[in-house]
Amino acid sequence: MKPPANQHQSARKPSPRSGLVQPEHGANGRQPVLSVPIREPVAAASRGSCSAFGDYTHHMSKSATALAKELLEGDPGGLEELRIHEFTDDESAHDDELTERLHADFSAEFERVQKDLTKQYGPPSRTGETDDEVIPLNGVFRFAVWEVGETQLFAAASHEDRGVPILLMLGTA
């Protein structure tokens, strides 16, 4: 059955395999280039939780050392999230006290990750509190880099700008 002419039909549908929303094939029959992650409240609730800060916080279920091992077994350039804090509204995103508490909380968690990775890979070759050329993130406020064979393993906490998530990431270069 065809919808009435005045109703808009969505040109996007969820991909059954990837969980991404993809535009339908265009008139030229080509596969679309752009894909956007679906944000479903039920799915999100199963992966994360509301934090003590009143917003959505997502923690990875694997340990930092398990993720590091997986990253080091793969090709350089891997990037995995350990924790993400997403602000739910503009008011919380612009709350300076909340942001300071979150930065302190992420810094404490970063220190735990650094301690665990140091037990496994020895002391980091360098640490810092600003962006680093190896780390493909903006707004880095804590980082550590380990030399593991010919690969560089890094842990980084970053917050690029107000309103964007605060991240604790692990990666290789």
| Domain positions in the chain | 11-48, 51-172
**CA-CA distances (angstroms) from residue 29 to 26, 32, 36, 126?**
5, 9, 20, 50
User: 17, 42, 33: which is closest to 25 by C-alpha?
Assistant: 33
Question: 47: how many CB neighbours lie within 10 A of its CB?
Answer: 12
Residues 101/94/50/159 CA torsion (nearest 10 deg): -70
Q: 28-61 pLDDT, tens per residue?
A: 333 333 222 322 332 333 334 444 444 455 566 6
Question: 76: how many CB neighbours lie within 10 A of its CB?
Answer: 13
Global pTM exceeds 0.75? no
**Run of H or E including 102:** helix 96-121
**What integer best gives the mean pLDDT of the chain?**
76
* pLDDT of 25 over the 70 cut: no
